Structure 1
Amino acid sequence: MKLILLILYFAVLIAIGLYCRKHATDVNGFVLGGRSVGPWLTAFAYGTSYFSAVVFVGYAGQFGWKYGIAATWAGIGNAVIGSLLAWVVLGRRTRIMTQHLDSATMPQFFGERFGSRPLKIGASVIIFIFLIPYTASLYNGLSRLFGMAFNIDYSVCIILMAVLTAVYVIAGGYMATAINDFIQGIIMLFGISTIIAAVLKSKGGFMAALDGLARITDETVSTAPGTFASFFGPDPLNLLFVVILTSLGTWGLPQMVQKFYAIKNEESIKKGTIISTLFALVVAGGCYFLGGFGRLFSDQIDVAANGFDSIIPTMLSGLSPLLIALVVILVLSASMSTLSSLVMASSSTLTIDFLKEVCFRKMDDRKQVFSMRILIVVFIAISSILALIQYKSSVTFIAQLMGVSWGALAGSFLAPFLYSLYSKRVTKASCWVCFLFSSVLMVANIFFRSSFPAIMQSPINCGAIAMLAGLVIVPVVSLFTPKPDRKLVENAFACYEKKTEVAQKTALGKV
């Protein structure tokens, strides 16, 4: 039954990829789906790109073990800050200005917004480098579940996921990923709800499970009784950093922000905001809520020997074969949707913002699309090899790789992108300082972690601090560096003043 479900699932994904070939004939169609993607597809594409095996297996297991039921705050933060506020603050303005500047990627936006070719190239290099470790982390979480369900070798899992994702992304581009994301999102919503109910039922129901969690003590974490069933858990400060990194981080991730480029119209933004928020509340809230009960299975889990990534698979190993099949497809859906989003962002950035800008200035649309398809294969191959190396090395936790990647990307881009949409005073120099500060900080955290202050030795905390620092760096540096070209800035912001007619139900006309 597991194999039949998987084969049907794979067949649907590939069929959609082949069907969407007609939408992927030029750069606008391949990268943005012709900027005509509706609210449901955009909202689900945003949500499924947000949550993957990294969240379900890595973060839910690790933070549920550390903070207990309070880890659910991370899921709530993902819904409110990472989805609702992201759509409200960034959605409309991103769609308007990126279309006005004719930019299909985040580096292209920076290049056009500040009239700077080097800034565009610098941003594209950061994206390509730091998306790779994030992609590698997706394979690890998936391998744990495939190993539990099918006893399949880790390398087979990587090859299977890589090849299938490559096929439908290369064939159908953004539109294929958006439609597949919608299907994968439905599976995620149904799957997480079913799995939570089954796991809690195995422990006597919600109240019995909560009571059991309250009776667990770990003096190495906290001496307070019932801390793992408490409102804020044993370590509220570090939990806050988790919420900041996993929630605010989406505002600066190119593969997330790019979803706003492609949305169809005003009505789609309004509906998409609601759909995306509810999706995040169920999926992210459900993942962290489930992980919060991990210590109830402590008699079956050896974290010291197998790492935090073993917690969720162990919790699910006692479910029925049908439910385990659902779990595998759930996490496969989450991981493949995120992987497709990452490879699209990376290949489009490297082609449009680096190769065309530096090497092949006269590259036409057809050649750009061909280049993106080749780079998708290259990017997936590199991340697959890194995943195998990482599996055999001392870096065993999914959260470490994702923390470094998110910290560098969101730390580099969140503040420059946000301020550039709203302020005319942002300077090119402030963007460079923010880029360099976050990238260098996260690279240093990899190699010199023990030399960092205690609170910054965790990549999670370090990444959150990089993002918050950027929000200060950009306005401060902008005050002391040469002002941007006035004509360039006025041209960029002219799009917000453009007159447009709306129905009277939206705005009252003059008497």
Structure 2
Amino acid sequence: MYRLALVLATLVYLLITGYLGYVAYRRTRTTTDYLLAGREAHPYIMAMSYGATFISTSAIVGFGGTAALFGLSLLWLTFLNIFVGIFIAFVFFGHRTRAMGYNLDAHTFPELLGKRFQSRFIQVFSGILIFLFMPIYVSAVLMGATQFLTVNLKVDYEAGLLLFSAIVALYVIMGGLKGVMYTDAFQGTVMFAGMLSLLFLTYYRLGGVTQAHEALTALTPKAQEVFGAMGHRGFTSMPAFLSPLWWTVVSTIVLGVGIGVLAQPQLVVRFMTVRSSRELNRATAIGGIFILAMTGVAFVVGALTNVYFFNTTGQISFLAAHKQVDSIIPLFIERTMPSWFSILFLVTLFAAAMSTMSSQYHTIGTALSRDIFETLTGRRGTIGLNRIGTSIGIILSSFLGWGLPRFYGAGSEIIARGTSIFFGLCASTLLPMYIGALYSRRITKAGAIAGMVAGFAASMFWFLFVHEKESQVLGLCQALFGRGALWGLPWKVVDPIVIALPLAALATVLVSRFTQPPDETHLKTCFNGLS
């Protein structure tokens, strides 16, 4: 009976998704339709698409499992997600991005930056950054969804990976950004219902809000017993100041993802899909409520899984899941929730994975076709060329989703870490230039390039030689210097964004100060209608 209900629910979900993809395909006639949904998206569709793209299985499964390890300290990320990722992004970035994108006839984030600074190098470099590194983020989303299938439905990992990739590929390749946004709005609605149900049932299963959180606080001695040497002070407290866990929570997770969202190409392009600033204003409140429900629920439930596992097994979540962080949320759902909710949550994860993956696939494809190929060759591309680029991105991402668990190792927090890597890299490389593009008439082409290169170079150096989580796995530091990281504590736990972002900002400002100001006629075009 359960299997039949699961099949029926999945079929209904896929039929609705397929129908929306077909509608988008019929309405996609021009390159602007394929790249920017015709610049006429409804505020609800735009807000839900932005939120559903932002929140994926990496937030629900990966970061939910990470919250089981670090506790409620991850709620600082929820705060930044709403304050920075929605309020700051929409109010201070969204309006100017939409207006400037229209003034310059830009269709992608790299194209916006390239045209603003009149630099083919900026557009191509940004496109290469997206094409080479976003597949790591996509593979993290793929792994989160497939992990749930593996734990709860005993589906073979490779089969689940192929299933997700094939379904999403169909409507993204055919419908472009319209297909992505139409299905995102539906999938975001499903996600909202599923996560609220998860929160309610978790508190019900643990005896209510007060009892659940009192029990979580009571686990402080157990958390300190297991992780105290690393700075853990309990699941309801921040890690000890400047301890290894504190640096991981604050620099890698909270700052890396919380600030990195501002320079996410798949999110920035959403601002250019609406008709006017009025639509953006209406979308802001919708996006804030959605992000609160998604990340807040994932982090609270993730931390509370410790109460359940300790009560039933005598172990905290990390140990009960055999030290595999990415398996904690799926295992908790399997053991505690009624069968009907398992079906609903499976569809929720389908929606979370597919909504984010579709946007990522689209962004990778347009980076390859429009920002790299068209810019280098000078040829104006077609919808067909964009579809080819998207197909290549899908194949590359799927391969990484298959290979990274084998290369990186089980239980390595790879889902949350893969997300953090891309968010932090985009912030360090693109954010100073992006802010300068929108707000400063004095930032020069040379300054923008200097900041972009400095941020990228500093990030890569830190990943390869200093930040231990990555440098040990990549092995270059070990091969050259005979050690996993060049420096010890605290540097080996400090995320690259803490170093690279200030360096990029400094390089942008200093080089701009001593180079020729931009052409005033071009600036008037860029800032037309902007104060």
Common fold by TM > 0.5: yes
Residue 410 of structure 1 deviates from its aligned partner by 2.0
Match status 1:230 vs 2:236: yes
Counting only pairs closer than 5 Å after superposition, residues 44-443 of structure 1 correspond to structure 2 as 44-66=48-70, 68-216=71-219, 217=221, 218-222=224-228, 227-230=233-236, 232=238, 234=240, 238-241=248-251, 242-296=253-307, 297-298=309-310, 299=315, 301-302=318-319, 305-318=322-335, 319-359=337-377, 361-364=378-381, 368-395=382-409, 396=412, 397-443=414-460
Partners of 2:489 and 2:521 lie apart in 1 by: 47
Counting only pairs closer than 5 Å after superposition, residues 10-21 of structure 1 correspond to structure 2 as 10-21=14-25
Q: Which moved more, 1:475-484 or 1:263-272?
A: 475-484
Partners of 1:11 and 1:373 lie apart in 2 by: 22
Residue 194 of structure 1 deviates from its aligned partner by 0.6
Given that 2:68 and 2:318 are in contact with CA atoms closer than 8 Å, whether structure 1 keeps it comes out as: no
Distance 1:485 1:453, change over 3 A: farther
Given that 2:152 and 2:331 are in contact with CA atoms closer than 8 Å, whether structure 1 keeps it comes out as: no
Q: Cα deviations across residues 237-290 of structure 1 (Å, max 9, x unaligned)?
A: 543322222222111111111100111222211111111111111111111121
Residue 489 of structure 1 deviates from its aligned partner by 2.3
Given that 1:140 and 1:387 are in contact with CA atoms closer than 8 Å, whether structure 2 keeps it comes out as: yes
Residue 233 of structure 1 deviates from its aligned partner by 5.0
Q: Which moved more, 1:482-491 or 1:8-17?
A: 482-491
Given that 2:146 and 2:157 are in contact with CA atoms closer than 8 Å, whether structure 1 keeps it comes out as: yes
Residue 453 of structure 1 deviates from its aligned partner by 5.5
Distance 1:453 1:108, change over 3 A: farther
Matching residue of 1:505: none
Residue 70 of structure 1 deviates from its aligned partner by 2.6
Given that 1:427 and 1:482 are in contact with CA atoms closer than 8 Å, whether structure 2 keeps it comes out as: yes
Residue 455 of structure 1 deviates from its aligned partner by 4.2
Given that 1:76 and 1:284 are in contact with CA atoms closer than 8 Å, whether structure 2 keeps it comes out as: no
Q: 494, 498, 516: which one pairs with 1:482? A: 516
Partners of 1:292 and 1:255 lie apart in 2 by: 29
Residue type of the partner of 2:250?
L
Residue type of the partner of 2:225?
E
- Corresponding residue SS for 1:457: helix
Residue 425 of structure 1 deviates from its aligned partner by 0.8
- Corresponding residue SS for 2:227: coil
Given that 1:38 and 1:268 are in contact with CA atoms closer than 8 Å, whether structure 2 keeps it comes out as: yes
Partners of 2:266 and 2:286 lie apart in 1 by: 19
- Corresponding residue SS for 1:483: coil
Aligned length: 491
Q: Percent identity?
A: 23
Partners of 1:465 and 1:188 lie apart in 2 by: 35
Given that 1:138 and 1:335 are in contact with CA atoms closer than 8 Å, whether structure 2 keeps it comes out as: yes
Given that 1:407 and 1:466 are in contact with CA atoms closer than 8 Å, whether structure 2 keeps it comes out as: no
Q: Cα deviations across residues 162-185 of structure 1 (Å, max 9, x unaligned)?
A: 111011112211112111111111
Residue 223 of structure 1 deviates from its aligned partner by 8.5
Given that 1:140 and 1:398 are in contact with CA atoms closer than 8 Å, whether structure 2 keeps it comes out as: yes
Distance 1:402 1:225, change over 3 A: closer
Distance 1:456 1:94, change over 3 A: farther
Given that 1:434 and 1:474 are in contact with CA atoms closer than 8 Å, whether structure 2 keeps it comes out as: yes
Residue 3 of structure 1 deviates from its aligned partner by 1.7
Residue type of the partner of 1:341?
S
Q: Cα deviations across residues 46-73 of structure 1 (Å, max 9, x unaligned)?
A: 101101011111122113411x123222
Q: Cα deviations across residues 132-191 of structure 1 (Å, max 9, x unaligned)?
A: 111111111111111122100011111111111011112211112111111111111111
Partners of 2:355 and 2:72 lie apart in 1 by: 27
TM-score (norm 1): 0.90
Residue 209 of structure 1 deviates from its aligned partner by 1.4
Partners of 2:296 and 2:344 lie apart in 1 by: 19
Residue 472 of structure 1 deviates from its aligned partner by 3.5
Distance 1:75 1:326, change over 3 A: same
Given that 2:101 and 2:112 are in contact with CA atoms closer than 8 Å, whether structure 1 keeps it comes out as: yes
Instruction: Specify every segment of 5 or more residues in structure 2 that has no aligned partner in the other structure, as ranges.
Output: 466-470, 472-484
Partners of 1:483 and 1:224 lie apart in 2 by: 49
Distance 1:58 1:268, change over 3 A: same
Given that 2:74 and 2:254 are in contact with CA atoms closer than 8 Å, whether structure 1 keeps it comes out as: no
Partners of 1:363 and 1:232 lie apart in 2 by: 52
Residue 382 of structure 1 deviates from its aligned partner by 0.8
Matching residue of 2:486: 451
Matching residue of 1:507: none
Partners of 2:293 and 2:240 lie apart in 1 by: 24
* CA RMSD of superposed structures (Å): 2.3
Given that 1:214 and 1:225 are in contact with CA atoms closer than 8 Å, whether structure 2 keeps it comes out as: no
Partners of 1:470 and 1:75 lie apart in 2 by: 26
Q: Cα deviations across residues 380-437 of structure 1 (Å, max 9, x unaligned)?
A: 1111111111121234421222222122122111111112101001122222222223
Partners of 1:314 and 1:458 lie apart in 2 by: 29
Distance 1:485 1:267, change over 3 A: closer
Residue type of the partner of 1:454?
L
Residue type of the partner of 1:442?
S
Q: Which moved more, 1:144-153 or 1:475-484?
A: 475-484
